[in-house]
Each structure stands twice: as structure tokens, then as C-alpha cells.
């Protein structure tokens, strides 16, 4: 079946979602637009949409092969993939292996310290509130998700962390942390959104060179090169 983009149903900071002729399926398009700090900083990363589409496709396939249900169906074009139409749960999950970013700030820790065990966090997905850290009691009390769903999110996210570490280690990439989003589809929970240098921290093993969106957030330069380097390693 040929899938054509129909009505635009959502445009976010980095992606657009379009309806298709099939009510269960959407087209997810990746943009070159980059934002940081709740969109107070804006820019363009040349070809980022292409890189993130391709990296996400490989990682979703890798996870599917290991039994993780994701919204990914197949690649359509340079910047587009066909995905299942999830009802997104407004929770951002992060998993951390090494202290960086928000965890360094929140707990006054030095970036780069390896954690004794992975840290699983949930955040309330809200730009105006800056995605505040929350716990499962908040999520249940606020009606965001049921306790069994939260148990699934945690178990699945820690499994995703193990699979991604296994994937990236032989490629000389240290997976520092990442963010995941989930949604409901036909009574089950699926991994949605994207997995890319926009949503993960990737440090080159040996040099510590940052190969992710922190180059944009922190004005480190060499942004396009870093994204292309990640694409090369992911597809190698
Ligand atoms: P932190 O909480 O340290 O800012 O982010 C932890 C990890 O999750 C990083 O890899 C970061 O890229 C990702 N992350 C967390 N929140 C967001 C978000 O709102 N947008 C994007 N693109 N990534 C996020």
C-alpha cells in the first residue's frame, strides 16, 4: 500500500505527524529544526531530520528484534517513517548510566561520573513546567497512567537500556542517558517518539567527544559532523 501524508495532526519542535488513509497509522516526519531549553534556544541542524529518521529506524528495528513493541512500521522516505498511531502517555522516561545534564544539576554532581546502577526517572511532560521530575505516586494520583502501566514502563525502559548498550558498545559509543516516550495502542503499551542524538547522550569511548544534541545546547560547534558520525556508526 502506498502511504501519502494526509492531514497534519501535530507539529512539534522536531517532528510532524500526518494522518494516512489507514486510521491506525501515521507518517512521522523529522525536521532539521533544533530547540533547547524549552524552545528558548532555536536553530537548524542541516540534515538532522534525515539522520534522526535513519538512526531511529535502525534502533527501533533492533529493539523490535529483541521483543520490544515500538510504533515503528517502516521507513517511507528520507525524513519520514510509517508509525502506529499511539495515544501518547504524558510522561518522559529517562534512563541514565553516567551523570550528566539534569542529574548533575539536580544533585550537584560532577558530569561524567558513572552510576553504580542505571537510574530510571519519570518526568511530567510539560514544556511550561520544564518537564518536572515526578514519582509513580504523582503519575497515578494525577491519572496519567495505571500502576501496572508504570511497572511496564520501568521494566521495558531498563531492558531498552541494556539492549542499546549492547548495540552501541561495539561501535565505540558510550550511552550516557536517554529519553523515551510511550503510548497506548489497541490496549497495549508501545514505545513511541524517536531514539536519536536529539534524545540521547552519546560520548565517544576513549575521547569523551560528545556526539549528540549537547553540541547544540552548549554551543560546542561541529554539530552536523557529530550527527553524521553517529549515523555512520549506527549503520555500520
Ligand atoms: P536531562 O534530564 O539530563 O536534560 O536529559 C536526559 C536525557 O534525556 C538526555 O539524553 C536528553 O537528550 C534527553 N531528554 C530529556 N528531556 C528531553 C526533551 O524534552 N527533549 C529532548 N530532545 N531530549 C530530552
- pLDDT tens per residue, range 172-208: 999 999 999 999 999 999 999 999 999 999 999 999 9
Mean pLDDT confidence for 100-105: 98
8-84: CATH topology: Phosphorylase Kinase; domain 1 (3.30.200)
Supply the CATH classification number for the domain 87-222: 3.30.470.20
Q: What is the DSSP string of 157-184?
A: HHHHHHHHHHHHGGGTEEEEEEEEEEEE
Q: To the nearest whole percent, how much of the chain has pLDDT over 70?
A: 100
Mean pLDDT score, 31-37: 96
CA 199 – ligand 1 centroid, Å: 5
Query: Tell me: the pLDDT tens digits for 215-229?
Result: 999 999 999 999 999
Residues of the chain with CATH 3.30.200.20: 8-84
| The pLDDT of residue 1 is above 90 | no
Å from CA of 171 to ligand 1 middle: 22
Q: What is the mean pLDDT of the chain?
A: 97
pTM of the model: 0.97
Residues at CB less than 6 angstroms from ligand 1: 92, 94, 100-103, 131, 177-179, 198-201, 213
Query: Are the CB atoms for 146 and 66 separated by under 8 Å?
Result: no
- Cell numbers 529544526 correspond to 33
pLDDT above 90: residue 38: no
Question: Is the four-CA dihedral 74, 64, 117, 193 of positive or negative sign?
Answer: positive
Nearest-atom index, ligand 1, CA of 176 = 10
| Average confidence (pLDDT) over 151-173 | 98
> Binning pLDDT at 50, 70 and 90, where does residue 44 land?
very high
Best of 35, 179, 181, 197 for a ligand 1 pocket test (most atoms within 8 Å of beta carbon): 179
Q: How far is the CA of 23 from the centre of ligand 1 (A)?
A: 30
> The C-alpha cell of 20 is what?
494516512
Residues of the chain with CATH 3.30.470.20: 87-222
Categorize the per-residue pLDDT at 209 as very low, low, confident or very high, splitting at 50, 70 and 90. very high
Alpha-carbon distance 85 to 102, whole Å?
30
Nearest-CA residue for atom 12 of ligand 1: 199
Amino acid at each position: 500500500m502506498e502511504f501519502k501524508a494526509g492531514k497534519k495532526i501535530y507539529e512539534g519542535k522536531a517532528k510532524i505527524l500526518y494522518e494516512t488513509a489507514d486510521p491506525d497509522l501515521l507518517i512521522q516526519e523529522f525536521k532539521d529544526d533544533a530547540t533547547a531549553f524549552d524552545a528558548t534556544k532555536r536553530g537548524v541542524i542541516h540534515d538532522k531530520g534525515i539522520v534522526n529518521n535513519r538512526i531511529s529506524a535502525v534502533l527501533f528495528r533492533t529493539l523490535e528484534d529483541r521483543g520490544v513493541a515500538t510504533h515503528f512500521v517502516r521507513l517511507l522516505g528520507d525524513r519520514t517513517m510509517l508509525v502506529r498511531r499511539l495515544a501518547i502517555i504524558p510522561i518522559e522516561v529517562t534512563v541514565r548510566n553516567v551523570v550528566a545534564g539534569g542529574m548533575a544539576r539536580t544533585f550537584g554532581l560532577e558530569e561524567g561520573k558513572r552510576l553504580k546502577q542505571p537510574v530510571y526517572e519519570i518526568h511530567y511532560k510539560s514544556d511550561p513546567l520544564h518537564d518536572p521530575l515526578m514519582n509513580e505516586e504523582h503519575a497515578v494520583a494525577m491519572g496519567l497512567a495505571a500502576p501496572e502501566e508504570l511497572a511496564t514502563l520501568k521494566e521495558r525502559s531498563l531492558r531498552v537500556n541494556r539492549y542499546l548498550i549492547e548495540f552501541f558498545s561495539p561501535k565505540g559509543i558510550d550511552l550516557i542517558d536517554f529519553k523515551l516516550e510511550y503510548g497506548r495502542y489497541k490496549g497495549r503499551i508501545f514505545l513511541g517518539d524517536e531514539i536519536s542524538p536529539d534524545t540521547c547522550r552519546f560520548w565517544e569511548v576513549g575521547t569523551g567527544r560528545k556526539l549528540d544534541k549537547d553540541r547544540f545546547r552548549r554551543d560546542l560547534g561541529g554539530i552536523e559532523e557529530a550527527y553524521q558520525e553517529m549515523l555512520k556508526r549506527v549503520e555500520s
